[in-house]
Amino acid sequence: MWSLWAAALILAQLAALLPLDSRAEAARPASAAARGGYVALTFDDGPWPETTQALLEGLAQRGVKATFFLIGSQVAGQEDLVRRMAAEGHQVGVHTWDHVQLKGMTPEQIDGQLGRCRACLQEILGPVELMVRPPYGFVDDTLLRCAQAPIICWSVDTEDWKDRNADRIVDTVTDQVRDGSIILMHDIFETSVEAALQCVDLLLAEDYYFVTVEELFALRGVTPEKGQVYLNLPPGTG
């Protein structure tokens, strides 16, 4: 079931939000978070042993949840990382088996890439619903018909793979982020992990609040549909 009891999830996340210096502080009220907006921080191409683990630790320190679109062929040996993502409240999704372009593939080829990755993740996590992110964001009519899940793209592309420059990545996010943004990053680069955590700190200070993609849908009262492409979610009303 795609819809979540958003209020309960947000209250739980607010309770987990602690300052990095561990000093006691009252939980941030939902009204304060809404002044900046709600955004979804998403990561592609993992899991990766060292960088994904460092990212999870940094997010846990900040009480922040993210969405991870995983490559099936990278999961072997990293099953505990995948379990940790789910256990800590992060959302897990499908990013194909081999990180290949799905546009132009036959239905059988698409099913092989998405179905195999989906089965791999469900073997670890159980019978959960898994959204899809197509590599490179390339989509065609065949993929729309065969995805068997909502297709999640993005509205803020950090292009963190290009120069691996943490300062430039942070500037891109802080310049482009809006209420309802879906931010694309990759947890396979140390610079991306560094930049992501800097972005979290900066945007929390501006009263933005980080949720999973699934939670963002629930907050907006939107039921994601299979075979539909989503770049962001409309801004909230307060």
* Catalytic residue numbers, as ranges: 44, 186
CB 177 within 8 A of CB 203: yes
Q: Are 117 and 97 within 8 A, CB to CB?
A: yes
Q: How far apart are CA 180 and CA 167, in angstroms?
A: 23
Helical residues (DSSP H) of the chain, grouped into ranges: 6-16, 30-34, 49-62, 79-87, 107-110, 116-125, 141-146, 160-163, 166-176, 190-205, 213-220
Query: Do the Cβ atoms of 202 and 32 come closer than 8 Å?
Result: no
Q: Are 144 and 227 in contact (CB under 8 A)?
A: yes
Using DSSP, how many helices (H) and how many strands (E) does the chain show?
11, 8
